[in-house]
């Protein structure tokens, strides 16, 4: 397996640091538009794992917005798999380049949505991933696999949902992805600051678009951003967090393979974060269309959202100043295998102090990068396989969770996952 990794930002860098400890692959070509960033990631492998391990990594320059360039770099390095670790706006071109090069493909976020032109807060327009699923026939004809939404959310959350469907429930009322954290970032003086732990471009996109909900009798529909607030109690010392509806791939993926009456995604954003996003939207600073801005060299065209991203701390750099944990999981309600009502929360915790100490990566990007590494190892072993455009739900969840949780000395990743029986806890 020769992997072309597109993107050496926070998640791409963490992906390399995780996969460098595994032996299932032949080579990883670490690509970025800024080749110096890719070179830094490869150098970090040499510093942490030694020159012999680093010899299995190569840095290269790539333009993720040019499908021909993506295909050319993949062919030049004999890539068998293309791993997309950049912003979702580049999904169409990387997706096309991978297919043209005859590679299998993985991503952690899918093609972007477009709100309904006249009724955005009730009806769907173009949904997340629609463009990729529309090309499923091309991937099937080519005999290639595109495993989409294979990060943590989406990704691990979808694996949990498949596990619940196969092993815990005879009938599912709701698959509800719930994400919360108690992460805090401080400046050099020790003051708490606003510093999102994930790419702000992506965060704005998913938080300000109309959230999508699935109901079996109604299909997919939308609602207002930040709707249906609820207090969800997260494990691992995080505790109660207010969660709200947010647009996310799980709601578009799970119903394609799993039988559930309702599918939702709610994110614990917090009052401050919601307020900041609302202000950006009112000021037009969430816009992706370039505007003319005066500079010392004359007018330049700049997208307001890119200005926001440039002004905020890089998520890849905030780890040393961040404390706390993040939790990703799926809350499932319905009827258990014994015919009785059941309610469980399946989850994985990522602690920033641990990920910084063990991998020199902040916990959110590390947790996001873990899923695709495990998926690639299962594909390399032939445990997972398929052709066409598939989500994680299309694969058997148990081998993934077994490999993830097995001790490192036994060939696993040493990452335990948890399950809380919420009905029993309330009894």
> Can you give the CATH number for the domain in which 144 is found?
3.40.50.720
Looking at residue 200, which CATH number applies to its domain? 3.30.360.10
Q: Convert the pLDDT of each residue in 115-125 to its tens digit.
A: 999 999 999 99
- Same-domain check for residues 276 and 303: yes
Q: Could you give the residue ranges of the DSSP H alpha helices within 101-247?
A: 130-133, 136-142, 156-167, 200-208
- Same-domain check for residues 102 and 181: no
Contacts of 244 (CB under 8 A, 6+ apart): 225, 226, 227, 228, 229, 230, 266, 267, 269, 274
pLDDT band at 7 (very low <50, low <70, confident <90, very high): very high
Number of domains observed in the structure of the chain = 2
Q: How far apart are CA 48 and CA 288, in angstroms?
A: 38
Go through the chain and tell me how many residues it has: 427
- Same-domain check for residues 112 and 227: no
- Same-domain check for residues 389 and 422: no
- Same-domain check for residues 78 and 173: no
Do 77 and 60 contact (CB within 8 A), yes or no? yes
pLDDT band at 426 (very low <50, low <70, confident <90, very high): low
- Same-domain check for residues 65 and 131: yes
Q: Is 136 exposed, middle or buried (0-12, 13-18, 19+ CB in 10 A)?
A: middle
Helices 363-381 and 10-19, interaxial angle, to 10°?
50
Element (H, E) at 245: strand 239-245
Angle at 202 between CA 190 and CA 260, to 5 degrees: 115
Structure tokens at 82: 């293309």
Can you give the pTM of this predicted structure?
0.92
Which residue range forms the structural domain that includes residue 249?
A: 156-364+417-426
- Same-domain check for residues 253 and 399: no
- Same-domain check for residues 377 and 352: no
pLDDT above 90 (res 187) = no
- Same-domain check for residues 338 and 267: yes
Tokens 């429930």 sit at which residue?
169
- Same-domain check for residues 170 and 252: yes
pLDDT above 80 (res 190) = no
pLDDT band at 283 (very low <50, low <70, confident <90, very high): confident
Q: What is the radius of gyration, based on Cα positions, of the chain?
A: 21
Element (H, E) at 201: helix 200-208
User: What is the pLDDT, as a whole number, of residue 325?
Assistant: 95
- Same-domain check for residues 147 and 265: no
Q: 347 has which bridge partners?
A: 329, 418
pLDDT band at 50 (very low <50, low <70, confident <90, very high): very high
Encode 221-233 in three state secondary structure. Answer: EECCCCCCCEEEE
- Same-domain check for residues 371 and 360: no
User: What is the pLDDT, as a whole number, of residue 423?
Assistant: 85
Helices 156-167 and 363-381, interaxial angle, to 10°?
60
């Amino acid at each position: 397996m020769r992997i072309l990794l597109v993107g050496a930002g926070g998640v791409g860098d963490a992906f390399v640091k995780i996969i460098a400890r595994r032996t299932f692959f032949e080579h990883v070509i670490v690509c970025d538009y800024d080749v110096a960033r890719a070179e830094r990631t490869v150098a970090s492998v040499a510093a942490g794992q030694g020159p012999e391990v680093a010899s299995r990594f190569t840095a290269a320059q790539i333009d993720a917005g040019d499908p021909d360039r993506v295909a050319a770099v993949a062919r030049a390095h004999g890539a068998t798999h293309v791993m997309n670790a950049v912003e979702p706006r580049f999904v169409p071109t990387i997706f096309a380049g991978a297919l043209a090069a005859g590679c299998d493909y993985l991503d952690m976020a899918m093609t972007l949505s477009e709100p309904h032109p006249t009724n955005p807060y009730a009806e769907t327009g173009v949904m997340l991933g629609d463009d990729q699923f529309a090309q499923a026939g091309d991937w099937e004809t080519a005999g290639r696999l595109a495993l989409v939404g294979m990060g943590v959310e989406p990704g691990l959350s979808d694996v949990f949902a498949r596990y619940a469907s196969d092993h815990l429930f005879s009938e599912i009322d709701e698959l509800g992805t719930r994400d919360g954290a108690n992460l805090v970032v401080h400046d050099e003086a020790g003051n708490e600051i606003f510093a999102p732990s994930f790419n702000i471009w992506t965060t704005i996109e998913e938080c300000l678009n109309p959230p999508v909900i699935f109901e079996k009798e109604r299909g997919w529909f939308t609602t207002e951003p930040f709707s249906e607030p609820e207090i969800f109690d997260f494990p691992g010392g995080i505790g109660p967090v207010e969660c709200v509806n947010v647009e996310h791939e799980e709601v578009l993926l799970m119903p394609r393979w799993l039988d559930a009456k309702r599918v939702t995604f709610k994110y614990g954003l917090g009052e401050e974060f919601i307020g900041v996003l609302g202000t950006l939207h009112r000021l037009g600073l969430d816009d992706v269309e370039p505007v003319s801005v005066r500079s010392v060299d004359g007018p330049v065209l700049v997208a307001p959202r890119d200005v926001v991203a440039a002004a905020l701390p890089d998520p890849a750099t905030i780890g040393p100043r961040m404390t706390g944990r993040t939790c990703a999981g799926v809350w499932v309600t319905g009827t258990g295998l014994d015919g009785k009502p059941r309610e469980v929360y399946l989850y994985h915790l990522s602690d920033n102090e641990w990920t910084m100490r063990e991998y020199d990566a902040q916990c959110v990007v590390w947790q996001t990068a873990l899923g695709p590494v495990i998926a690639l190892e299962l594909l390399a072993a032939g445990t997972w396989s398929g052709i066409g455009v598939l989500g994680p739900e299309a694969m058997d969840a148990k081998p993934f969770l077994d490999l993830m949780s097995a001790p490192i000395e036994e060939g696993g990743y040493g990452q335990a996952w948890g399950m809380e029986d919420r009905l029993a806890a309330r009894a």
